[in-house]
């Protein structure tokens, strides 16, 4: 389960690169109830999504001409430079070399061997997101990979993540947890990217919501689209995949309570 007591390898930040930050801010305010707060003129248009005055994600303009709108998860590292070397040794690529973000922390962007983008955050003054798991905040991160076995090997080498295979009708799902934490440290999973799928290998963030179906309807009304209609999974909850107005994919879930049976 995600908490704000961040440990190495745990998701600790999430941001969206968008071609039109005003349109993105309006969309997520309407769909998830987030407000947007600029980080100031020196931040180049970057700012924070807030829920109950707590930072739940961030938003900035796309900086690469060919880049597509996308969410990027960041994982806690005590040493961004060492992580960059681990990524290269494991067969990944460094998209943005480690650099300091004022005195808030140190960050870097990477791609895994299949091309899925992710980042790391080495905390300074900012430890990470201020709210997770609660409605309106990040609760799960899911990698869609064409080669889950390769992905498991890569991320284990970089972050030391523990994995557990779970079978379901039609395939398997890999549960991810921080090193040595067991199920209490679970934060995400790896799913098989289906052949012919229109989206590339990528990390998909899930936002906890109080009513999955209501959010799906609202997302469509505000110009988003549905990648996967709302479905229920026993013991897990009701979930859906959406895209925002610029096509950035994200998931929403109304998690099952322990005694609900799904």
Q: Please provide the DSSP assignment of 102-145 as one string.
A: TTTEEEEEEE-TT--EEEEEEESS--S-S--SSTTSEEEEEEEE
Query: In the prediction, which pLDDT does 196 show?
Result: 65
Query: In the prediction, which pLDDT does 262 show?
Result: 41
Residue owning tokens 């994982």 = 75
Three-class secondary structure of residue 229 per DSSP: strand
Residue owning tokens 């921080």 = 178
Q: Are strands 138-145 and 186-192 parallel, antiparallel or unpaired?
A: parallel
In the numeric block, which tokens belong to residue 49?
């999504």
Three-class secondary structure of residue 172 per DSSP: strand
CA dist., res. 121 & res. 126, Å (int): 9
- How many other β-carbons are positioned within 10 Å of the β-carbon of residue 188? 25
Query: In the prediction, which pLDDT does 169 show?
Result: 76
Cα-to-chain-centroid distance, residue 78: 19
Give the closest residue to 80 by CA, choosing from 119, 109, 122. Answer: 122
The pTM of the full predicted model, rounded to 2 decimals, is 0.95
Helix residue ranges per DSSP H, the chain:
21-32, 80-89, 148-159, 212-221
In the numeric block, which tokens belong to residue 262?
């799904």
Three-class secondary structure of residue 40 per DSSP: coil
Give pLDDT < 70 ranges for the chain.
196-198, 258-262
Query: In the prediction, which pLDDT does 260 show?
Result: 44
Could you give the angle at the alpha carbon of 23 between the alpha carbons of 20 and 26, nearest 5°? 145
Query: In the prediction, which pLDDT does 171 show?
Result: 83
For 88, residues 6+ apart whose C-beta sits below 8 A from its C-beta are 94
Please, are residues 247 and 69 in contact by the beta-carbon 8 Å criterion? yes
Please, are residues 79 and 256 in contact by the beta-carbon 8 Å criterion? no
- How many other β-carbons are positioned within 10 Å of the β-carbon of residue 40? 9
For residue range 140-159, what is the model confidence (pLDDT) as tens digits? 999 999 999 999 999 999 99
Query: In the prediction, which pLDDT does 261 show?
Result: 41
């Amino acid at each position: 389960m995600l908490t704000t007591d961040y440990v190495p390898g745990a998701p600790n930040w999430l941001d969206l690169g968008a071609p039109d930050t005003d349109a993105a801010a309006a969309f997520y305010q309407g769909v998830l109830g987030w407000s947007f707060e600029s980080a100031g003129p020196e931040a180049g248009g970057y700012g924070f999504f807030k829920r109950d005055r707590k930072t739940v994600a961030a938003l900035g303009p796309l900086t690469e001409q060919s880049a597509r709108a996308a969410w990027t998860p960041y994982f806690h590292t005590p040493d961004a430079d060492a992580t960059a070397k681990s990524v290269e040794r494991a067969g990944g690529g460094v998209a943005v070399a480690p650099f300091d973000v004022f005195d808030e922390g140190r960050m870097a962007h990477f791609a895994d061997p299949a091309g899925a983008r992710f980042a790391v955050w080495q905390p300074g003054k900012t430890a990470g997101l201020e709210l997770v798991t609660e409605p309106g905040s990040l609760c799960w991160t899911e990698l869609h990979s064409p080669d889950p076995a390769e992905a498991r090997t890569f991320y284990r080498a970089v972050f030391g993540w523990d994995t557990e295979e779970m079978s379901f009708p039609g395939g398997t799902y890999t549960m991810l947890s921080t090193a040595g934490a067991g199920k209490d440290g679970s934060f995400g999973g790896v799913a098989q990217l289906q052949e012919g799928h229109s989206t590339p290998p990528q990390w998909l963030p899930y936002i906890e919501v109080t009513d999955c179906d209501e959010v799906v309807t609202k997302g469509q009304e505000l110009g988003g689209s549905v990648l996967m209609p709302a479905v229920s999974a026993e013991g897990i909850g009701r979930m859906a995949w959406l895209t925002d107005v610029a096509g950035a994919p994200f998931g929403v879930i109304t998690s099952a309570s322990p005694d609900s049976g799904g």
